[in-house]
Amino acid sequence: MSDIAAPRSSSSARKLKGGGRNRSGQTNFELYSWLFMRLSGLALVILVLGHLFVNLMLGGGITALDFGFVAGKWANPLWQVWDLLMLWLAMLHGTNGLRTIVNDYAEKDQTRFWLKALLITAAIVIVVLGTLVIFTFDPCLDPNSTLSVCK
């Protein structure tokens, strides 16, 4: 019979088990991460469903999406804040979710390390890029813009 020793648990979890180490030296990172998933999840239900409703259900839905649509939305600070929050929370929530999946299924320490390095690099690139896009967006790139700031 195959022996399944500490299946799919990280090396840190194995260390914790072995010898019943004093837990006061450990951080509460996993507890905060667990709590963060629930809090950000609740916020994302509102943020993402609102985003889908406004962009896909109202007006012409997907057919109405173009540069002018984005310019019109981001002329309103509410949508800038909405999208910024959604970007950050969704990326942190998704990255943390994938971190959990990597911990569960990647068995070798090296594989886990490199997968997480790739994941975190991708997350940083996307969050920084998205944030820059929201803050440096120029609606007047469109010469036909009817927004008053471009006149």
- Sign of the CA dihedral running 60, 62, 63, 67: positive
Directed axis angle between helix 77-105 and helix 109-136, to 10°?
170
x/- string (CB under 8 A) for another protein, residues 4-33? Answer: ------------------------------
**Helix or strand or coil: residue 108?**
coil
| Least distance between another protein and beta carbon 22 (Å) | 27
* 102 forms part of the interface with another protein (CB under 8 A): no
Q: Which residues contact 8 (CB under 8 A, 6 or more apart)?
A: 103, 104, 105, 107
- Of the pair 10, 131, the CB lying nearest another protein is at 131
* 133 forms part of the interface with another protein (CB under 8 A): yes
Q: How far is CA 20 from the centre of its chain?
A: 35
Kindly indicate which of the ranges 14-22, 24-32, 48-56, 106-114 contains the residues binding another protein, using the contact rule CB under 8 A. Answer: 48-56
* 49 forms part of the interface with another protein (CB under 8 A): yes
Compute, in degrees rounded to 10, the torsion defined by CA atoms 18, 20, 24, 30: 50
x/- string (CB under 8 A) for another protein, residues 61-100? Answer: xxx-xxxx-xx---------------x--xx--xx-xx--
CA–CA dist 39, 41 (Å, integer) = 5
Would you tell me which residues interact with another protein (CB under 8 A)?
A: 1-2, 38, 41-42, 44-45, 48-49, 52, 56-57, 60-63, 65-68, 70-71, 87, 90-91, 94-95, 97-98, 101, 122, 126, 129-130, 132-133, 136-138, 141-142
